[in-house]
Chain A
Amino acid sequence: MREKSTTLYLGPQHPGITGNMMVKLQLEGDTIVKATTHVGYLHRAFEKLIERRNWMQSTTILCRFCVPEPDPPEAAFALAVEQIEGREVPERGQYLRSLVLELARLQSFMLWYAGQSGSAGLYTVGQWSVGDRNYVLDLFEELTGGRIYHMYIWPGGVRRDIPEGFEDKVLRTMDYIEKRIDDYDRMMFDSAIFQKRAQGVGVITKEKAMEWGVVGAPLRGCGIGHDVRKDNPYDAYDKLDFEMGIFEGGDVWARARVRQFEIRQTISMIRQLIQNLPSGDYLNKMPNPMKWTIPAGSAYGKVESVRGEFGFHVVSDGSDKPRRAHARGPAYVHGVSLLEDVLVGENLADVSFIMNSLGVCPPEIER
């Protein structure tokens, strides 16, 4: 008997995914035969809005590109502007930027724990990690005034210095979170359910990873070691001692192992940054921000976010407004054509599980 094919419109909400996108699935039984992604629920024309604002006003829009990790867009934009302008960042500013970027990675890893385990039915881990994530958001609130959107990284450095007693709070928070991660791991990685769901699912081969331009944990989960922090070090990363998590397999399990390894590296880096924080200026001040012009030119600034390389192509025509600011987030590659390819042959129940593993973030795709 011939199996009947079914069309299913899955989404736009998916468990563990921040933002909305729809996946149109062609199914035979519960096996996916064809997948087509549909974005367009969240287009806010940020890049167009940036073209109507001056350089300083643009920095308030950047963080909104990706809700779970708002700092990499700020940093990539700042790096590109600094390249065009030739503006140096003071050493303390570099350390504070790396500190904020690593804290952002840490809270994003904790959201990933929630999404990845929750989409496998292990809800306890998510409740723990999202609860504990608030301690990192408390640090952000004290440092920047905002819990989610920070607008802290500016071309030339950072917006303000750390408040009194902040270093000690960061170190104590790291001690607490480090202990808690062991609990998450016991609950998630030692679970037979998670192991069975993750192994051999959503496989990306090395060849496919190179062809599709895969970045971040999905690339390192294929056994390929590429990390912007190592390959093109920016800010204070060339002064830090850390390792990339490289695992073989290319499946959800390998990608989870990469993140399990790297969250501990992040905690270690935060400690190093606090312990070696130099004194001095935190910002190489720009002239009057409302009359600030950038020489004509273009540059590509890139940083490593939890989900992979986040880049910004910034073009200046010499005026007080960007001519073009075009973002390229990891989800732009992972969440559209790659996802359509990876989903073929997988089980319907694994769609959001695989999306979480690839770091799909719809607001970043359509911006």
Chain B
Amino acid sequence: METSYTKEEILAQQLQAAFEHLITEVVRKDTVFAFAPKEQVSSILLYAKEKLGYISLSHLSCVDWLESGELELVYIIWSPETKVNLFVKTRIDRENPVMENTDMIWRQINTYQREIREMFGVEFPGFIGEKEFILEDWEDAPPMRRDFDTLEYVNDTFFEREGREDKQDVRERIANRSGEEIPDFAKKYSRE
């Protein structure tokens, strides 16, 4: 009896036949994950684009796995024929984050790489893109990394304007300024 495969299983088989060391996983309907070493990523993307019809890049994302000392780059590509999302995932060293430049495969990767370089500190050798994207004159650690504490940065960098301190009772301040008396039923909401 002939076995019938789903479109997701066929894609996983095609990728595994073409690439060594590639681990594929059919996660759910319309979604296939492919875990690859970073050296293979551009070949997989090109193969998927040219041979398998995955012509559209939906997303390029970066996830910080602080605990294991790795950054994960996720390329999400899509085929108008199979309508399947293929996630090509690779992990790179967090201390020395270097990834191959892939903006010649899809021009829009340029913008994603600019953001990932700025927000996660990943270098893409050979990549020509304006250095600054969202941040200006930034000298601190890449801010989207998990060990960058936004609250601490804000407390160290900015100061409260006088009269705008946190946790003050706005109702009471307004009442004091205007001479208005706070009725009893409203006093229970006071922070005191």
Contacts and interface: CB of A to CB of B under 8 A. Distances in A.
Contacts of B87: 298, 300
B76 A313 contact: yes
A315 B87 CA distance: 13
Interface in A29-79: 36, 39-40, 43, 45, 47-49, 51-52
B75 to A, nearest CB: 11
Interface string A313-353: 10100000001101010001100111000000000000000
A36 B111 CA distance: 12
Contacts of B143: 45, 48
Contacts of B58: 213, 300, 302, 309, 311, 328
A190 interface: no
B61 A326 contact: yes
A339 to B, nearest CB: 11
Contacts of B31: 83, 299-300
B122 to A, nearest CB: 14
B14 interface: no
Chain B interface size range:
35 or more
Nearest to A42: B134
A292 interface: no
Contacts of B191: none
B98 interface: no
Nearest to B130: A36
B4 to A, nearest CB: 22
Interface string B59-92: 1011110000000001010001001010100000
User: Which of B30, B57, B64, B108 has the most CB atoms of chain A within a 10 A radius of its CB?
Assistant: B108
A48 B108 CA distance: 23
A321 to B, nearest CB: 11
Given A39-B133, A52-B150, A328-B59, A211 B107 contact: yes
B27 interface: yes
B28 interface: yes
B110 interface: yes
Given A45-B150, A83-B31, A211 B106 contact: yes
Q: Taking chain B's interface residues, is the majority helix, strand, or loop, or is none over half, making it mixed?
A: mixed
A337 B110 contact: yes
Given A311-B58, A366-B134, A213 B106 contact: yes
Contacts of A211: 106-107
A121 interface: no
B133 A213 contact: no
A345 B124 CA distance: 30
A162 interface: no
A324 B61 contact: yes
A241 interface: no
A337 B107 contact: yes
A213 B108 contact: yes
B96 interface: no
A313 B108 contact: no
Interface in B92-130: 106-108, 110-111, 130
A232 B79 CA distance: 11
Contacts of A302: 58
Nearest to B67: A317
A226 B78 CA distance: 12
B180 interface: no
Contact of B61 (A210, A313, A337): A313
A345 B98 CA distance: 36
Interface in B120-164: 130, 132-136, 143-144, 146, 150-151
B55 interface: yes
B43 interface: no
A89 B83 CA distance: 22
Nearest to A211: B107
A332 B111 contact: yes
A73 to B, nearest CB: 14
Given A300-B87, A323-B63, 9 more contacts: A43-B134, A45-B150, A47-B144, A48-B143, A213-B57, A300-B31, A300-B85, A309-B58, A337-B107
The 10 closest A-B pairs by CB, nearest first: A213-B108, A326-B61, A313-B61, A324-B63, A366-B134, A336-B111, A328-B59, A43-B134, A40-B134, A337-B110
Interface of A: 36, 39-40, 43, 45, 47-49, 51-52, 83, 210-213, 226, 231-232, 297-300, 302, 309, 311, 313, 315, 323-324, 326, 328, 332-333, 336-338, 366
